[in-house]
Amino acid sequence: MVPFLLEVSDLACRRGGRPVFEHMSFGLAAGELLALTGRNGSGKTTLLRALALLVRPVAGTIRWQGKDVAADPEAWRGRLAWLGHLEGLKGDLTVAENLEVAERLRGRTVPDRVRLLAALATFDLSALADRPVRTLSAGQRRRAALARVVLSDAPVWLLDEPLNALDAPAQAGFRAALGKHLAAGGLAVAATHAELGLAGARALTLGSRE
Amino acid sequence: MSGFAGLVARDLRLVWRRPGDVAVVLAFFVVATILFPLGIGPEANVLARIAAGVLWCAALFAALLSLDRLFAADHEDGTLDLLLLAPWPLELAALAKCCAHWIVTGLPLAALAPVLGVTFGLEPRVLWALAATLLVGTPTLSLIGGLAAALTLGARKSGALLALLALPLCVPTLIFGAGAVESLATGGDFGAHIAILAALALVALATTPWAIAAALRQAGE
């Protein structure tokens, strides 16, 4: 059996005093993708935020290589690339500036132009590198946020509805980037309504509690 | 430290792209201050007597005016999540935000105050003293205001709530800031007032980043 890199056991979260999910357990080995599906309000985003330590679970543990991630949250956050339902881009900064700032916030040096343009090229954004984000369309912003994820080199990707607002070529670009990330031994957890279309993706369906 | 410097630089750049936001704050400071000589009339004694208090109050209100967007803007576009997920202490990020706020409001307010002091008929050494007290006192306003901004994040009518939270906490700074300038006229100990102002700033520096970080984590849940 392949050893799990990321192991979630017996995780439980509450929102506004009501349980969202309980006894959530799964493990992911290197190169695995977990697709979270489920109705609206079934707790996909809450689970992603719990994995990122943005939401404190009421029970359970998240382990990375056997160690509880809550023991050293900064080291764990350093391994994460995050794409929320908000893009996390500043409208007054250009696409390139947004990506540079995000890298600095992750405690890394400013990426050189070649690396930056390579990440942007993945999502066909090279021509928009120096355009302010506020002038971009919703799909272009989503692509810029995905380029930020690719640029981060983080081993764990946490993605909330990555395909939202993406057109067909951009979806293909995303699949290629995700495939490359997984092939290099990375992990990804993605909440999604659409089919991610990657062979070998594990699926986890969250039940809804109306 | 790369993250800290990166965040300060980002916020300064954002202000640079939208200089109007800061210009409004400074214009408010100028207009609010100038209303007093117009309203009270040209009695030099009265004006010189109230100048320090008026300028300090106006500076406090002006600083508060710009604070409600401090974390709200990051909250709305999702960049707050990136701060929460940064692999370095959130306390430092909170400090970086307040630092950037001070550079774009506290510093210009301190520089403008002596110019406005002229309309109150203050003598040159009092003008310098006024600038010095604001220079030492405004970091406290940015830190305490930052805490109020973080606590009111996501609340409706956050602007009014923010002022209600921050103003009482700023009272000691106001008293010793205006008192320092006053002490020049009454022959008190100016240095002692400045030392107390600096002490207040240090207390704010040593406590508010932790409280801001806790409030931001709560807002992120």
Please indicate if any CB of chain A lies within 8 Å of the CB of B187: no
pLDDT in tens, B4-45: 999 999 999 999 999 999 999 999 999 999 998 888 887 888
Overall domain count for chain A: 1
Contact residues, chain B, for A105 at CB < 8 Å: 3, 6-7, 82-83, 86
pLDDT of the residue at A1: 57
pLDDT tens digit string along A39-93? 888 888 999 999 999 998 999 999 999 889 989 999 999 999 999 989 999 999 9
Q: How far lies A117's CA from each of A101, A123, B61, in Å?
A: 15, 10, 45
Which DSSP string corresponds to A38-70?
ESTTSSHHHHHHHHTTSS--SEEEEEETTEEGG
- What pTM did the predictor assign? 0.91
Residue A129 lies in a domain: yes
In chain A, residues with a C-beta closer than 8 Å to the C-beta of B18 are 92
Q: pLDDT of A10-21, one tens digit each?
A: 899 988 888 888
Nearest to B86 by CA among A191, A97, A108: A108
SS (HEC) of A173-189: HHHHHHHHHHHCCCEEE
Compute the distance between CA of residue B34 and CA of residue B29 in angstroms, rounded to an integer: 9
Q: Is A8 helix (H, G, I), strand (E, B) or coil?
A: strand
Please count the other Cβ atoms lying within 10 Å of the Cβ belonging to residue B83.
22
Residue A167 phi/psi, 5-degree rounding, is -85, 175
- Rounded mean pLDDT of chain B? 91
Q: What is the DSSP annotation of B183-217? A: HHHHT--HHHHHHHHHHHHHHHHHHHHHHHHHHHH
Cα(B215)–Cα(B150) distance, integer angstroms: 6
The reported pLDDT for the residue numbered A49 is 92
B83 touches chain A (CB under 8 A): yes
Query: Does the residue A160 lie in any domain?
Result: yes
Beta strand A80-83 with A67-68 is unpaired
Q: Which of A48, A101, A133, A134 to mutate against chain B (most B CBs within 10 Å)?
A: A101
CATH at A106? 3.40.50.300
What per-residue confidence (pLDDT) applies to B16? 94
pLDDT for residue A2: 66
Beta-carbon contacts below 8 Å between A and B: 77
- How far apart, in whole angstroms, are the C-alpha atoms of residue B24 and residue B81? 29
Cβ–Cβ of B88/A84 closer than 8 Å?
Answer: no
Q: Is there a domain that residue A61 lies in? A: yes
> Would A208 be classed as within a structural domain?
no
Which domain, by its residues, includes A44? 6-195
pLDDT of residue A208: 53
Which tokens is A147 given? 């380029």
The DSSP letter of residue A10 is E
β-strand pairing of A33-38 with A202-206: parallel
Largest CA distance in chain A: 49
The pLDDT assigned to B172 comes to: 94
Contact at CB, B81 and A97, closer than 8 angstroms: no
d(CA B114, CA B51): 10
Start-end of H helices in B66-157: 72-77, 79-84, 90-101, 107-117, 124-151
Give helix A113-122 / helix A95-105 axis angle, nearest 10°: 110
- Report the complex ipTM: 0.89
Share of chain A above pLDDT 70, in %: 97
Q: Which amino acid is at B142?
A: S
Compute the distance between CA of residue B11 and CA of residue A142 in angstroms, rounded to an integer: 22
Residues A110, A103: contact at Cβ < 8 Å? yes
CA distance A117 to chain B (A): 20
3-state secondary structure of B151: helix
Asked if the Cβ–Cβ distance from B85 to A82 is below 8 Å, we say yes
Dihedral sign (CA B116, B98, B71, A100): positive
Strand order in the sheet with A80-83: A80-83, A156-160, A187-191, A33-38, A202-206
The alpha carbon of residue A199 is apart from the nearest alpha carbon of chain B, in Å, by 30
Residue A210: pLDDT band by 50, 70, 90 thresholds? very low
Q: Is residue A64 part of a domain?
A: yes
Overall average pLDDT of the A128-154 stretch: 93
What is the per-residue pLDDT for A110? Answer: 83
Both tokens assigned to A143: 């692509």
Place of tokens 């992750």: A106
Residues of chain B short of pLDDT 70, as ranges, are 1
